[in-house]
């Protein structure tokens, strides 16, 4: 089974978040993991998919809120939900781990909250100290804060070392490290 890494982030992202998302997408693809995003052609979603497609035979999945007309050209599998923002729950539940690449929008914050509610591990990439404190208060040891895409990958690798076949639920089945 290939691991699914959900990369979430704002459509209107900061430059640093775009750069981090692009690098993270490439690193995920180099590990032969599946990249899952919101699938649109803007912000963190687009940048992460773009980064993944730098790697031959990478696989990107986009879970779209409605029609295919705004799908990123870097998405291999577009899943049209017609669910609007409720599609965030599909993104979260379909991923083994969530990496939030910037927390600049309510959509991303809702994805992180849904992930914690579902018992998923969440990695905050480039979070401010206030964002880090807020989500660690909600999720405790399920939340990890990192400053670089490489650090995010290293956290995921440590999770995978603990259990060779993690189930979709995250912390309930992955041993704490």
Q: Where are the beta strands (DSSP E) in the chain?
A: 4-8, 34-37, 60-64, 77-80, 97-101, 121-125, 143-146
| Cα–Cα dist 89/98, whole Å | 12
Render pLDDT for 83-137 as a digit per residue (tens, 0 to 9). 888 999 999 999 999 999 998 889 899 999 999 999 999 999 999 999 999 999 9
Closest C-alpha among 116, 112, 39 to residue 70? 39
The pLDDT tens digits of the residues spanning 27-60 come to 999 999 999 999 999 999 999 999 999 999 999 9
Under DSSP, the state recorded for 121 is E
> Domains of the chain by range and CATH?
4-172 (3.40.50.450)
């Amino acid at each position: 089974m290939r691991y699914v890494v959900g990369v979430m982030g704002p459509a209107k992202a900061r430059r640093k978040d775009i750069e981090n998302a692009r690098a993270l997408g490439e690193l995920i693809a180099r590990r032969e993991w599946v990249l899952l995003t919101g699938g649109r052609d803007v912000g963190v979603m687009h940048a992460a998919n773009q980064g993944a497609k730098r790697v031959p035979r990478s696989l990107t999945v986009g879970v779209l809120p409605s029609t295919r007309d705004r799908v990123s050209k870097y998405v291999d599998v577009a899943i049209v939900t017609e669910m609007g923002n409720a599609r965030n729950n599909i993104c979260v539940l379909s991923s083994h781990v969530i990496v939030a690449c910037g927390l600049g929008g309510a959509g991303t914050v809702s994805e992180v909250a849904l992930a914690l509610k579902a018992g998923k591990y969440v990695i905050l990439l480039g979070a401010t100290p206030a964002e880090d404190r807020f989500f660690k208060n909600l999720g405790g040891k399920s939340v990890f804060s990192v400053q670089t895409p490489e650090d995010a990958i290293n956290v995921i690798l440590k999770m995978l070392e603990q259990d060779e076949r993690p189930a979709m639920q995250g912390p309930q089945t992955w041993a704490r490290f």
